[in-house]
Amino acid sequence: MLNGALIGCGFFAMNQLNAWRDIEREGGGARIVALCDRDPERLAAAATRFGIERTYPDAAEMMARETLDFVDIATTAPSHRGLVELAAANRLPVICQKPVAPTFDDAKAMVAACEAAGVPFMIHENFRWQSPLIAVREAIDGGAIGTPFWGRVSFRSGYDVYAGQPYLAEGERFILEDLGVHVLDTARFLFGDVAGVAARTNRVNPRVRGEDVATVLLSHENGATSIVDCSYSSRLEQELFPQALVEIDGSDGSIRLSANYRLAVTGKFGTEVRDVSPPLLPWAERPWHNVQESVLLIQRHWVDCLRSGKAPSTSGRDNLGTYALVEASYLSAATGKTVDPRTL
Ligand code: NAD
Ligand code: 89V
């Protein structure tokens, strides 16, 4: 049994704790044995809710006192670098929530610290673990549409994301850093690495400090072109939060992941339509169940990787490729120029 500790018992960590409990109950070989939060009320509430007795206000003290196999960091970005470096110094494999850090230099330093310490490092970048997006990837791999030459990954919503995550309204950077990072990672997952980025941003909601709308044009290394577009200022006939919609055209056909998880794959012999709705886990609630299931899947993947010694799909090093797209998007939006993310 792998013993883990979770740091940061806030809004999203409840999903991670529910998923860890599922993994323990299904005999998945991992459990959370200690919790840390500098806010005593949040720490006590999480400890009671999940029946975890060992609690700490300070992560360094927890890592010194506990015998752990990994730590799972669910705090917000400003604390990520210090906590990941602390885990590396303690030779502890570490998962860290997205966005990996406030700056690209921090992210690179975190990857370097874990590599120098020889500890596995995974970013909790869970969109590519959403089962509808896995179904899209499988449809590409199945070959029915031939070679993809164009794609779009779109996340447009008017959902009040600020109610659960008030800090999102406060930062100088917003949608590209927080949500765009997921959608850009999805584009990398589906279409591969990127040679050029051109982006435009807008701030529509006056109560939000950073940009809340972004449109990014990606030139992929394999010649495909894709569009990533995100908005938290779109009032739509159907509110689809937190669904990412996907369009892909290939040499022999097309894929459409449209509203409410309808997947249509068109090939030379016609169209196959499937409902790829994610399951509603017992602890999940709509509309978050899609994201919540992906938390369980990525955490299972982490346990598999720790046991087998393979690198996680969203390792710290892999995630630098996604972070470069976020940086390139901000730079392109500021300068109006196309940016090669590989030069950053
Ligand atoms: P939150 O503010 O609700 O919770 C963070 C908690 O961490 C707080 O309780 C705070 O007291 C604690 N904390 C901060 N620094 C600490 C430190 N140094 N030591 C101990 N405790 C510390 O934040 P949240 O909304 O839960 O977001 C947490 C992270 O999860 C963010 O990085 C966010 O982007 C990410 N997130 C990811 C998803 C996803 O789908 N992957 C969804 C929502 C949020
Ligand atoms: O990652 C986040 O902060 C969430 C999302 C819905 C995009 O997963 O808000």
pLDDT confidence of residue 222: 98
The position carrying tokens 């894929």 is: 255
Q: Where are the domains of the chain?
A: 2-119, 128-283+314-343
Question: From ligand 2's centre to the CA of 273, what distance in Å?
Answer: 28
The whole-number pLDDT of residue 81 equals: 98
Ligand nearest to the CA of 38: 1
| 45 CB near ligand 1 (under 6 Å) | no
Q: What pLDDT score was predicted for residue 8?
A: 98
* Ligand 1 neighbour 156 (Cβ under 6 A): no
The pLDDT score that the predictor gives to residue 7 is 99
Ligand 2 atom 7: the closest Cα is on which residue?
Answer: 179
- pLDDT score recorded for residue 287: 96
Q: According to the model, what pLDDT value does residue 169 have?
A: 98
* Cis amide prior to 242 (ω within 30 degrees): yes
Q: Residue 216: what pLDDT?
A: 99
Atom of ligand 1 nearest to the CA of 164: 25
Strand-by-strand arrangement of the 54-56 sheet: 54-56, 30-36, 2-7, 70-73, 94-97, 121-124
Closest of 41, 45, 50, 63 to residue 22, by C-alpha? 50
DSSP string over 121-176: EEEE--GGGSHHHHHHHHHHHHTTT-SEEEEEEEEE----TTTT-GGGGTSSS-HI
Q: Is the CB of 180 under 6 A from ligand 1?
A: no
Mean pLDDT by 10 residues, the chain (344 residues): 98 98 97 98 98 98 98 98 98 98 98 98 98 98 98 98 97 98 98 98 98 98 98 98 98 98 97 98 98 98 98 98 98 98 98
Between the CA of 309 and the centroid of ligand 2 the distance, in Å, is: 29
Nearest CA to ligand 2 atom 8: 291
Tokens at 145, concatenated: 């549409």
For residue 247, give the nearest of 127, 179, 130, 149 by alpha carbon.
Answer: 149
Determine if ligand 1 sits within 6 Å of the CB of residue 77: yes
ipTM of the complex: 0.99
Q: Are strands 262-267 and 270-275 parallel, antiparallel or unpaired?
A: antiparallel
Nearest CA to ligand 2 atom 4: 179
DSSP state of 252: S
CA 77 – ligand 1 centroid, Å: 8
- Tell me if 146 sits within 8 A of 185, measured CB to CB: no
> Mutate which of 6, 35, 75 to test ligand 1's pocket (most atoms within 8 Å of Cβ)?
75
59 lines ligand 1 (CB under 6 A): yes
Residue 227 parent element (H or E): strand 225-231
**Residue identifier of the C-alpha nearest atom 3 of ligand 2:** 178
Domain 128-283+314-343 CATH superfamily: Dihydrodipicolinate Reductase; domain 2 (3.30.360.10)
Report CA(123)–ligand 2 centroid distance (Å).
Answer: 14
Ligand 1 center to residue 98 CA distance, Å?
10
Strand-strand pairing, 2-7 and 70-73: parallel
pLDDT at 146: 98
Find the 136 Cα to ligand 1 centroid distance in Å. 29
Pocket of ligand 2 (CB under 6 A): 161, 165, 178-179, 182, 242, 291
Strands 194-202 and 148-156, sheet pairing: unpaired
How many angstroms is it from 323 CA to the middle of ligand 2?
A: 16
Name the CATH topology of 2-119: Rossmann fold (3.40.50)
**In this structure, what token pair is assigned to residue 46?**
């999480």
pLDDT at 235: 97
